[in-house]
Amino acid sequence: MFYYLFSWLDNVYDFPGAGVFQYISFRAAMAVITSLVISLLFGKRLISLLNRKQVGETIRDLGLEGQIEKQGTPTMGGLIILAAILIPTLFFAKLDNIYIILMLFTTVWMGLIGFIDDYIKVFKKNKQGLAGKFKILGQVVLGLVVGLTMYFSDNIVIREKVSSELLIETTIDEEVITASNPSKKFSRVSVKSTKTTIPFMKHNEAEYSKLLSFLGDGYEKWAFLIFIPLVIFIIAAVSNGANLTDGMDGLATGTSAIIGATLGVLAWVSGNIVFADYLNIMYIPDTGELTIYISAFVGAAIGFLWYNTYPAQVFMGDTGSLSIGAIIAVFAILIRKELLIPVLCGIFLMESISVIMQVSFFKYTKKKYGAGRRIFKMSPLHHHYQLSGYAEPKIVQRFYIVGIMLAILTIITLKLR
């Protein structure tokens, strides 16, 4: 909203300083500051309210050190994160940007799913919460909305880089830029595409529709048969991965902040024609605006970490964990970096894999030997280390270190091919 207000003041009244709102960097910085202030101030008041309402976490005794002490700690703190994301985004982002609209929908929709789940657990005293099929249904709906919008919206395009000479014989509208080599000129042509980025490959763009080339001529029009199910799968996988990671004080929050900061860098360079040209990566118009959203996300996560770090004063609950996972997934998909998720979200991935391995092996050995056996002492993975004698803060800090290493590896994939 401030973008439109100060643009009007600048154009009509030449208001001093109003022009800075044209810069993404300024609005991103303001979004970070605002989200931090909201999460710190609103967080304290919400925690007090949750304590008065006795909205406490019910802990199932698993024999973990320090577990009983967490009984009654306020939950549903994800509301702090959601507020600290939505308010700065509404203040500083361009609200007619299709990417911002999709991210706002993702935040509200998955926040609502998580809130219903927490509400059932806390107020209805049902430890199971919202049935798993309804959570999956919510993720499927989100995937359909994002996938169909990306596939059919004329506002979501990429710009292909071709030599200017190639366009001499065409009548396509193009945007001519000067490349990193000033002596050579290129043109960027807007096209609808389901292309994505493949990490570590020299020619690192791939078109999903080519997987259907066996269908013959016109196979491109069936690309949605691959693209949309893939979007649904990624959203469900990352959302549930974040949910599984949220088992120690500050673990999911800090890890998400690291991931968010990395996605912010990727969005910045992907939405800037000069950086995209220099790095020789896919240029996606208007995605630079996502930097404002992800800045608010990082600020919200860091602000929440103030209260969520060990020993936690509040838990985010599914209101937060389901939301941040979906936010990360959708954001990566929008900037065409979803294939980097296994690297960037390696913590979420290993937590999920540990659960899958544990459950599968237990069922297999129980069926074959009559008694279930386990690979880990407990899953998800962070509980395995806890039962191995590591203190909770040490586990969390080491997971942060691994997360930072994965974030650095993700960024250098821009040039490491």
Rounded Cα–Cα distance for residues 393 and 250 (Å): 9
Q: How does pLDDT run across 42-63, given as a tens digit for each residue?
A: 888 888 888 887 666 666 656 5
pLDDT at 140: 96
pLDDT of residue 297 exceeding 90, the answer is yes
Specify the pLDDT at position 206.
Answer: 82
Please, what's the largest Cα pairwise distance for the chain? 80
- Helix 24-52 and helix 290-308, axial crossing angle in degrees, nearest 10: 30
pLDDT at 1 over 90: no
In the three-class reduction of DSSP (H, G, I as helix; E, B as strand; rest coil), residue 92 is classed as helix
Q: What is the pLDDT of residues 309-343, one digit of tens each?
A: 998 899 999 999 999 999 999 999 999 999 999 99
Residue closest to 23 by CA, chosen among 272, 257, 270: 272
CB-CB contact of 300 with 80 (8 Å):
yes
Q: How far is CA 327 from CA 62, 217, 239, 321, in A?
A: 30, 36, 8, 10
Mean pLDDT of 89-113: 96
The answer to whether 284 touches 335, Cβ cutoff 8 Å, is yes
Query: Would the pLDDT of 300 be above 60?
Result: yes
Listed in sequence order, the residues at least 6 apart from 370 whose beta carbon sits closer than 8 Å to its beta carbon are: none
Q: What's the pLDDT score for residue 186?
A: 47
- The percent of residues above 90 in pLDDT, for the chain, comes to 57
More confident: 9 or 238: 238
Residue 250, by phi and psi: left (phi above 0), alpha (psi -120 to 50) or beta?
Answer: left
Residues 6+ positions from 303 with CB-CB distance below 8 Å? 35, 36, 37, 38, 39, 40, 43, 80, 84
Helix (H, G, I), strand (E, B) or coil at 257: helix
pLDDT at 213: 82
CB of 276 within 8 A of CB of 282? yes
As a residue count, the chain comes to 417
- pLDDT value for 63: 59
pLDDT of residue 385: 93
pLDDT band at 238 (very low <50, low <70, confident <90, very high): very high
Mean pLDDT of 102-127: 91
- In this prediction, residue 368 carries a pLDDT of 87
pLDDT score recorded for residue 228: 94
Comparison of pLDDT for 411 and 208, the residue scoring more: 411
The encoded tokens of residue 336 equal 């065409």
**Structure-model confidence comparison of residues 268 and 67, the more confident one:** 268
Phi and psi of 164, rounded to 5°?
A: -60, -35
In Å, what is the CA distance from 360 to each residue of 133, 356, 367, 385, 406? 20, 6, 11, 20, 27
Q: What pLDDT digit, counting tens, does each position of 170-205 carry?
A: 334 444 444 444 444 445 677 788 888 888 777 778
Strand, coil or helix: 158: strand
Q: Give the list of residues 6+ apart from residue 55 with CB closer than 8 angstroms, or none.
A: 74, 75, 76, 122, 123
Report the 10 Å Cβ neighbour count for 207.
15
Would you state the pLDDT for residue 19?
82
